[in-house]
Structure 1
Amino acid sequence: MYLMNCDLGLRAGLAAALLLLCAGLAGCQATALPQTPGTEPPAAAAAPAQVEVVAAELRSWPGVVRVQGSLLADEHAVVGTKVAGRVHQVHVDLGSRVAAGDLLATLEPEDFDLRVRQAESQLEQTRVKLGLKPEEDEEQLDRKQIPEVVREEALLNQARANLKRAESLTPNNVITAEELDQYRAELEVAEARYRLALNAVEEQIALIGVRWAELALAQQARVDAELHAPFAGRVQQRHVAPGTYVQVGAPILSLVQTDPLRFRAGVPERQAARLQEGQAATIHIEGLPAPLKGAVSRISPALDLSNRSLCVEIDVANPGGGLHVGLFAEAEIVVEPDAQAVSIPASAVRDFAGVEKVWLVERDEASERVIASGRRDGEWVEVRSGLSAGQTVVRQAQEGLTGPVVVLQSSAAAAAGKS
C-alpha cells in the first residue's frame, strides 16, 4: 500500500514538470517569432528613378509607296545577221563593252565579193547593148540614136518614099492596085518595126535599172556580212563561234544597254492612284553604301490583271557600269512630300519579343506603352500608333522603370535654356 502511493505521487510530479516545460517552450517561441532566422525585416521604399525625357513631336515624314523590283537593261537586243553565211570572226566576247557602230562579227567575204562582181558584169553587158560608155547616163540617152532604132527609122523612111512614088504613078496606070497595096503594107510594117525598136530601147534602159538594183543588193549583202552594234552597251551572251554557218536572222550576240538602267516594279492596285510621273524616288540595293536617287520615268496605262499591279519604271544612272542587270532592289516613291508624322528618338524605343514599347511619363509616373513604329531616319523613328504629339517618354528606354520618376532636364532643353 505504501509502495502504490509512492508510485502515484511520482507520476503526478512528472506530469506537472512536463506541463511546465511545454509552457516554457511555447513562451520562448512566441517571443522569438518576429525575428525568425532567415527572415529579413521589410525594406524601406525605393527612391524614384531619375530619367531624362523627350516629347513626341511632329516631324516631316513624306508619304511614300514602297515597292520591290529589279534593275533591267534600258535596251536589249539579240543581234542577228541579215544574210546567210559562215562566221569568219567574232570580235567581242562575254562582258565586252561596245560603242554604237563597233564591229561585232564578220562572215566569210568571198561569196559576197563574187556576187558583187557578177552584178557589175551584168550591168555592163546591158549598157553595152545600148552603146553606152561608162561615164554616160542612161537617162540622158537619145533613144533615136541607138543603132537598131536608126536602122528601123531608115527603113521606115524608105517605105514612105516608095509609097509616095507609087501613088504618083497611079493616075498614069503605071502600077497596078495590087502593087500599091503592097507598098502601103510595107509602110505599115516599117512603122511597126520602128516602134518595136523604140520599145526595145526602153526595155534595155529599164533592164539597166534592174541591174543597178541587183548590184546595190549585192553590195548591201557585202556590207551586211559585217555585224555592227546597234547601240552602246555590253555583250550579255555570245551565241556562235568562227566556222558556224548561220541562216538569215540567226542570233550572233545578245547585247544590253546598261547606262541608264531601268528599275521596274509592280505597285499594288490600292496605291496605283497615288503615282505620277516625275515623283522623287529612293532606290536601295543591298551591298551599296548609299541609296540611289531617281524619279518615276514611266507608268503603264493599264494594270496587270494577273496580279492586280501597275508597272512603273525609274531610270537609274550607271555611268561606270557598276550596277548589273537583274539586281534586286527596293524603292521608296514619295507621293506626299509635305506629310508629317509623330516621331521620337530611336533610343526611346524598346523592342522585346517583337513588341515595341516606350516608357510613357505622366504626372511623374512612368508606365509602359506599346507602340507601332514605321520608318527610321537616322536617330528618329516614326510612330504610327500608340503616341500623340506632345506626350513625354523616357529618352533612354533601358533607364525606364514602372513607378515614380524624377524628371531631369534634357540636354536639348538645357541647351535651349542657355541660349
Structure 2
Amino acid sequence: MLATHAVAQQDVDNAVGTYNANKSIVDANQANVNQLETLQSFEKVYAPFDGIITARNTDVGQLISAGNSGNVKTDLFHVSQSGKLRVYVNVPEQYSQAATPGLTAELTLAEFPGRTFQGKLIRTSDSINYTTRTLIAEIDVDNPTGELLSGAYTQVHLKVPGQPSSYMVPVSALIFRSHGLQVAVVENGAALLRPVTPGRDYGEEIEIVSGLQAGDTVIVNPPDSLVSGQKVQVVQPAATTATGGAS
C-alpha cells in the first residue's frame, strides 16, 4: 500500500515503531520466563559424576539461598567416587627429577597390616613449593572393591630409579668445607680428598652418585685437620670372639 501511496509514510513509520516496541516487550518477557525456568531447574541438583554421598549439609524443608551467605561457603553435599582414588604426596626436592609420570608406587595403610596397594604417578605440579621445598605429585590408585576409603591416611613408597654407579657411605665420612662436599679416600698410604655429589639420604648412610669408584677405601671418621697427601695407616677392626661356659 505504501508503494501505491494508499497509506501515508508517517502512518507506516508509526506502525513499524509500534511493532518494534511490542517485539522488545515480548523479548524482555521471554527473557524473564527463561530466567524463571532456569531458577526452577535448580530445584534438582545433579552430580557431575557417579559416586557416593559422604556428607550432607542440608535437610528436607531447609531454605537454600543462592550463592554464599555471609562469605561462608556452604556445600550441600560431598560426593566421593571411590572406584579410582587420587593420592597427593609431597615429594622432597632431591627426588623431584626422578618423580616422573608413569612411576609405580606402593601404598601401605595402618588398617591393612601386611598389605600393599599399587598405584601410578599420573602428574606433578612441575614446581617446587618455596616453603616446604617439595613437589606435589598425584598418584592414582584403582579401588574396584571400594575397600580403600576416601580421606584415609597412607604411606606412599615411590620406586625411584637408582643411579647406575652410586655408592653408599656412612654420613660420618662426609667432609664439609669451603670447596664443597668431600670424602677422604686412601691411595698409596696417603689421604686424598675427593669432591663428591650426594644422592638420597638414608639417615645413617648417604648415597654418593659421583666422585667415588669401585674399590675405594673410604675414611669413615676423618679428622677436621685432614688434608690431601697426609700419610695414613689403615687399621683393620679387631675381631671379637664370643666366649661362654656351662656349669
- TM-score, normalised via structure 1 length: 0.35
Among 77, 95, 103, the residue aligned to 1:271: 95
1:291 maps onto 2:140 in alignment: no
Q: 1:115-138 CA deviation, whole Å, 9 max, x = no partner?
A: xxxxxxxxxxxxxxxxxxxxxxxx
Counterparts of 2:76 and 2:241 in 1: how far apart (Å)?
Answer: 73
Q: Post-superposition shift, 1:338? A: 8.8
Distance 1:245 1:234 in 2: 24
Deviations 1:314-339 (A, max 9, x none): 10111222111222212221222796
Partner of 2:241: 402
Q: Post-superposition shift, 1:238?
A: 1.2
Alignment of 1:135-154 (within 5 A): none
State how far apart, in whole Å, the 2-side matches of 1:339 and 1:260 are.
34
Amino acid at match of 2:141: V
Are positions 1:206 and 2:24 aligned together?
yes
Cα distance, 1:337–1:303 mapped onto 2, change above 3 Å = closer
Gaps of 5+ in 2: 68-73, 168-201, 208-213, 216-239, 243-247
* Structure 2 letter corresponding to 1:247: S
Query: What pairs up with 1:343-362 in 2 under 5 angstroms?
Result: none
Tell me, yes or no, if structure 1 residue 194 matches structure 2 residue 12: yes
Cα pair distance change 1:295/1:339, threshold 3 Å:
farther
1:126-155 Cα shifts (integer Å, max 9, x gaps):
xxxxxxxxxxxxxxxxxxxxxxxx8xx69x
Instruction: Give CA-to-partner distance per residue, 1:200-227, whole Å, 9 cap, x none.
Output: 2133233333333322222222221112
CA distance in 2, matches of 1:336, 1:212: 64
- Residue 94 of structure 2 aligns to which amino acid in structure 1? R
The aligned runs of 1:21-40 (5 Å cut-off) are none
How far the C-alpha of 1:241 sits from its partner, in A, is 1.7
**Aligned equivalents of 1:263 and 1:313: distance in 2?**
6
Query: Identity over aligned residues, as a percent?
Result: 21
Q: Report the secondary structure of 2:83's partner residue.
A: strand
Residue identity in the other structure for 1:402: T
> Which residue of the partner structure matches residue 152 of structure 2?
327
Secondary structure class of the residue paired with 2:82: strand
Aligned match of 2:45: 227
- The Cα RMSD (Å) is 3.4
Highest RCO, 1 vs 2 (Cα 8 Å, sep ≥ 6): 1
Q: 1:78-157 maps to which residues of 2 (within 5 A)?
A: 157=6
Question: What CA distance in whole angstroms lies between the structure 1 residues aligned with 2:111 and 2:65?
Answer: 44
Question: Which residue in 2 is equivalent to 1:307?
Answer: 132
Q: Any unmatched runs of 5+ in structure 1?
A: 1-149, 159-189, 343-373, 375-383, 390-400, 404-419
1:311 Cα deviation after fit: 0.8
